[in-house]
A and B are shown apart, each in its own frame.
Chain A
Amino acid sequence: NAGVMQNPRHLVRRRGQEARLRCSPMKGHSHVYWYRQLPEEGLKFMVYLQKENIIDESGMPKERFSAEFPKEGPSILRIQQVVRGDSAAYFCASSPDGQGTFFGQGTRLTVV
């Protein structure tokens, strides 16, 4: 079991470009969570998805951010028209049912 895989590990985008972050959950896990970690801060919840459904997106900014978890393939966190304030580490986590959620290594997004 390869664990939660996130790619890319590092992503640099110019202001105004789009960022696409991918997360492949652990095998057998149907729950995926995305978190954002700003420098020196704790993790902030963004969105919780199950296959093909968004369960809770209360932590996701209303503009420019979207997430999906299709029936086949990885979960995608998409940030359109990135701004400097979007620079952060984005973590994906997966669980079969919440009994110990496992995290990926994160994607560090830098907006220049």
Chain B
Amino acid sequence: AQTVTQSQPEMSVQEAETVTLSCTYDTSESDYYLFWYKQPPSRQMILVIRQEAYKQQNATENRFSVNFQKAAKSFSLKISDSQLGDAAMYFCASYPMNRDDKIIFGKGTRLHILP
């Protein structure tokens, strides 16, 4: 069974600063995807970044990057130059690569941006 754990229910960061959201996971799969989703107050779920577990290079999307530590089963999200629009719930998720299955989500981290 897969599990995803986000141990920080809430975090705050000053505008323009950098913040890191933690995520650990457990899976018996050899190949899988990891995702970070953003859920702003509109409640829409937005895919922020995706990492294939077989890739050693950390994924990056503009101000968003991940620190993927496969042996430690850790997948943290770093947001650089935080902006007010980054305020949202952030969900970490995992998905097996080679078979049909469901995405497993963590409980989320609420990120506050302080002006």
Q: How many residues of chain A are within 8 Å of chain B by beta carbon? A: 26
A100–B113 alpha-carbon span in the complex (Å): 27
Q: Which of B14-22, B43-51, B63-71 contacts A (4 or more CB under 8 A)?
A: B43-51
A106–B107 alpha-carbon span in the complex (Å): 17
A108–B44 alpha-carbon span in the complex (Å): 11
A108–B101 alpha-carbon span in the complex (Å): 25
Q: Are A101 and B95 in contact (CB under 8 A)?
A: yes
Interface size range of chain B in the complex: 20 to 34
A50–B82 alpha-carbon span in the complex (Å): 39
Q: Which of A40-48, A67-75, A76-84 contacts B (4 or more CB under 8 A)?
A: A40-48
Q: Write the residues of chain B forming the contact surface with A, with a CB cutoff of 8 angstroms.
A: 33, 35, 37, 42-47, 50, 91, 95-97, 100-108
